[in-house]
A and B are shown apart, each in its own frame.
Chain A
């Protein structure tokens, strides 16, 4: 997996272009993991009447 994107400038040199778009899935996945863990924690460990 690449972390950065590169392009070539007018002289053929490799130039940094930004972050790799392969990372989109990892960032979205991090959000999903947090939500699933929190929902599971609330469902199994926190009493509904404990507010």
Chain B
């Protein structure tokens, strides 16, 4: 079998770390609201700090060790918004490189919501005591804190359908090879040629 590298070990470890943080953040954020009471605050902010570090690593790694243009959306690709949902290469007007249009749109939605959650989460950290600082609830006016909470809540709520969709696509039969590549790192030569344009994504041989 000819295997081609899709995700490096660093990318895979960071992906699953990010996933674990996201699950922890959603559970600690929403279970208390749904009536399951426990000491969630410390778990939530520690998960958020690790998530932030993971996002920072991803940004630096993508900019320095990967081709960030693989996530760039060309204007012509928007004609494929619906046809890309079918997963059929033949239906597309613009052939995909490493990522399909909907994968890129999904990535950008997650990136925006992550940045909103991180920035507002860091500000909210200043309202609780930690070993590193003393709380200051008067840093902003009550109205400003309200806006910060609304943005944090909105990003958290958006992650509910975003994660549901991510898991759904990860377990769809025709997408399982992408999930395998996020575990083992590789896709087969057949999968590469059936789903990607070799001229736009020059995948390297594994090992």
B201 within 8 A of A: no
Q: Please state if B146 and A27 are interface contacts (CB–CB under 8 Å).
A: no
Tell me the complex Cα distance, A51–B146, Å. Answer: 48
A2 within 8 A of B: no
B165 within 8 A of A: yes
Inside 8 A of A34's CB, which chain B residues have their CB?
161, 164-165
B194 within 8 A of A: yes
Q: Please state if A46 and B158 are interface contacts (CB–CB under 8 Å).
A: no
B99 within 8 A of A: no
**Taking chain B's interface residues, is the majority helix, strand, or loop, or is none over half, making it mixed?**
helix
Inside 8 A of B61's CB, which chain A residues have their CB?
none
B207 within 8 A of A: no
What size tier do the contact residues of chain A reach?
20 to 34
Q: Please state if B150 and A16 are interface contacts (CB–CB under 8 Å).
A: yes
A12 within 8 A of B: no
Tell me the complex Cα distance, A41–B172, Å. Answer: 13
**Taking chain A's interface residues, is the majority helix, strand, or loop, or is none over half, making it mixed?**
helix
Tell me the complex Cα distance, A32–B167, Å. Answer: 12
Partner of A24, one of B30, B88, B146, B194: B30
CB-nearest residue of chain A to B86: A46
Partner of B160, one of A17, A18, A31: A31
Interface string of A13-51 (1 = CB under 8 A from B): 101111101011001101110110011011001100011
Interface Cβ pair total, 8 Å cutoff? 73
Tell me the complex Cα distance, A30–B160, Å. Answer: 9
Inside 8 A of A28's CB, which chain B residues have their CB?
160-161, 164
Inside 8 A of A42's CB, which chain B residues have their CB?
86-87, 172
Q: How many residues of B contact A (CB 8 A)?
A: 31
Q: Please state if B88 and A17 are interface contacts (CB–CB under 8 Å).
A: no
Q: Please state if B153 and A19 are interface contacts (CB–CB under 8 Å).
A: yes
Partner of A19, one of B90, B157, B161, B195: B157
Q: Please state if A16 and B149 are interface contacts (CB–CB under 8 Å).
A: yes
Kindly name the residue among A27, A38, A45, A46 whose own CB sees the greatest number of chain B CB atoms within 10 A: A27
28 CB contacts below 8 A, A to B, read A13-B142, A15-B142, A16-B143, A16-B149, A16-B150, A18-B146, A18-B152, A19-B153, A19-B157, A24-B30, A24-B34, A24-B160, A27-B158, A28-B160, A31-B161, A31-B162, A31-B164, A32-B164, A34-B161, A34-B165, A38-B168, A39-B168, A41-B85, A41-B86, A42-B86, A45-B86, A50-B90, A51-B88
